[in-house]
Chains A and B, each alone.
Chain A
Amino acid sequence: MADWERVFTDLAESRGQALLRYAYLLTGDAAEAADLVQEAMLRAFGRTTRGLTLESAEAYVRRAILTLHIDGRRRSGRWLLVRHLVADREDVSGPEGAVVDGADLRSALAALSPRQRACVVLHYYEDLSVAQVADVLGCAPGAVKRHLSDARARLEPLLSDSPEGLR
């Protein structure tokens, strides 16, 4: 078995779940997440790379997932086509809005732009700093802060009745 095959098998077995969760948070769709992970792994291991370790391969696949997600959405314009269909703030403005289930959060995330959503996932789920998120997305830290601020404005009412919920 070639080196890449060993790393590939290890990655699929030990980190497959984590990668699927990451992709799922970005896409909000199970089938799309599975496609994204497989395409990212194909991209990562299909190149002429040598000496990949489990760690470097996972980092590469995660970056590929993000790039594929953002570029794919940008190209297809799918997000713009469905944006008006997802929930907005008015849907959760009542007293019950402070307590939401996963479907509400999924809808709220879907209302974010791909980059806003990526910022939220990287910052709040992957625990990356603003500077690290900026590095991953290839943009300025100020842009990340702006995306997070815009995202918080949409998500905050869904999570709790205090800003603490966003920490």
Chain B
Amino acid sequence: MTLRTRLDDLAADAPDPGVLDVDRLRGRIARRRRTRFAAAGAAAILTVAAVGTATATLLPRDGGDDSADLPVSTSDATPAQVRFRALTCGSPMIVSERDDVPPLALSVDVPSVVGHIDEQLAVTTVTNVSATRIQGTTGLGPTMWVTRDGETVTAAAFVPEGAHLVDLEPGESMTFDTTNHIGWCGPTLTSGLGEVATAPGSYQLWFTWRMTTLDGEEIVLYEGPVDVEVE
């Protein structure tokens, strides 16, 4: 008889699932989640203050709650099993399957309908979906690429490295405004930073975010496409 068989036999002595008080556990989880949501907001703001260069915030960008009732597209926080990259203006995004499972997940909240597309459009959340603490540094925030009708309408530009600290316990999240250090494609390849897409129509947003752990390992996350309509 193999050890596997013996372990199977022994496991049969395990308690019945009825010992799990699911209803009571659900209530404890709900209370813990409420507490953690509040604590996570405070922690993120303190981290930003300490680093001094970060843009992470959980506060409304416009100082009010005008956008509270807007429909929002929220991407899934499970690790995306694709990677993508942009080539040149007018080319499609190159999408490929990733063969690793990152320990972090990137999710994005974007209003479904906007007046224009700019770097303040999305709120992105990075969540530690692993069982180990993740520490390291990252740049200023996730980078957004934009496509329309399958063609890239943004072009790569210099992305400065920041000194944003990352320290996430399993299950914890950090929230960023998206950083848009890319230029919009124009007659001379790019029409400059800071310009925004205002032509009405349907766009697709692609987000990437990268960090380097204390061990020097690079983690790259991808999320997209997220549909957005410019009125």
Interface residues, chain A, with chain B CB atoms under 8 Å away: 4-5, 8-9, 12-13, 16-17, 20-25, 30-31, 33-34, 37-38, 41-53, 56, 60, 63-64, 67, 102, 105-106, 109, 120-121, 124-125, 127, 138, 155, 159-160, 164-167
Contact = CB atoms under 8 A, between A and B. Distances in A.
Nearest to A66: B131
Contacts of B172: 47-48
Interface string B56-88: 000000000000000000101110000000000
Given A45-B33, A159-B1, A50 B77 contact: yes
Chain A binding surface SS class:
helix
Contact of A38 (B10, B21, B76): B21
B56 to A, nearest CB: 14
A166 B3 contact: yes
Nearest to A25: B11
A45 B9 CA distance: 30
B3 A120 contact: yes
11 contacts: A30-B19, A33-B14, A45-B29, A47-B36, A47-B169, A48-B40, A48-B172, A48-B173, A124-B4, A164-B2, A166-B3
Given A34-B20, A38-B25, A51 B33 contact: no
A43 to B, nearest CB: 7
A48 B17 contact: no
B3 A159 contact: yes
B107 interface: yes
A51 B76 contact: yes
A46 B127 contact: no
B26 A51 contact: no
Interface of B: 1-4, 6-17, 19-22, 25-26, 28-29, 32-33, 36-37, 40, 74, 76-78, 105, 107, 125, 127, 129-132, 169-173
A24 B15 contact: yes
B3 A20 contact: no
A48 B37 contact: yes
B78 A52 contact: yes
A50 B40 CA distance: 14
A125 B11 contact: yes
B7 A165 contact: no
Given A42-B32, A47-B171, A56 B7 contact: no
A133 to B, nearest CB: 14
Contact of A9 (B9, B22, B37): B22
B107 A51 contact: yes
Contacts of A25: 7, 10-11, 14
A111 to B, nearest CB: 14
Nearest to A41: B25
A102 B131 contact: no
A46 B17 contact: no
A41 B28 CA distance: 10
A54 to B, nearest CB: 11
A50 B128 CA distance: 10
Closest 10 CB pairs of A and B: A47-B171, A51-B77, A63-B131, A46-B32, A24-B14, A16-B17, A21-B11, A50-B77, A51-B76, A21-B14
B111 to A, nearest CB: 18
